[in-house]
Structure 1
Amino acid sequence: MDQKTKGRNSELIRKRNYKLIARFYWYNSIVGLKFEKCIEELEKEFYLSNSRITDLITENAQSLSEFETKKPNEKELKKEIPFFNWIYKPQN
């Protein structure tokens, strides 16, 4: 009988973190939002706290660096993660 690990699925966490980093890259590098505003937007989308998002960005610095090196545009991001809304409409 196989022992299943308890807790959260590490593959799902990895995928979530990749999408969070992609979204942070988009907000920061394409939309041009300041760091704090990026974090505010990510809090709304991922239901994570400000501090947790900041930790995840730090923990996934290599992935962020890869985005910054490749510099994907909105069209490429939309193709890779099609279910996100890639149109930013600031709310007052």
Structure 2
Amino acid sequence: MTQLTRTVRVGSSHGLHARPAKLFAQAAKDSGIPITISKDAGTPTNAASILGVIALGVERGDYVTLTADGDGAEAALDALAELLATDFDSE
């Protein structure tokens, strides 16, 4: 299987803090496939782990890389990339 990656600029005003991290991790978990997220050249972490996502310390404007493989990987990465680009703090 081909591993797919997406690099996304984070749009949320306060980065991936509690609420956006929770929404993102839940969406990653719901995809049913293994997905990792990494910041810069850092070690990838499980995208479905809220604590793992928060621990990355992602701020607004940071770039993160998502990686997934399996059936539905492209659709899952598209959906997660859209979530990351959204500013949840403006709602």
TM-score range, shorter chain: 0.3 to 0.5
Q: TM-score, normalised by structure 1?
A: 0.33
Q: Which is richer in strand?
A: 2
Q: TM-score, normalised by structure 2?
A: 0.33
- For CA contacts below 8 A with separation 6 or more, give which structure has more relative contact order: 2
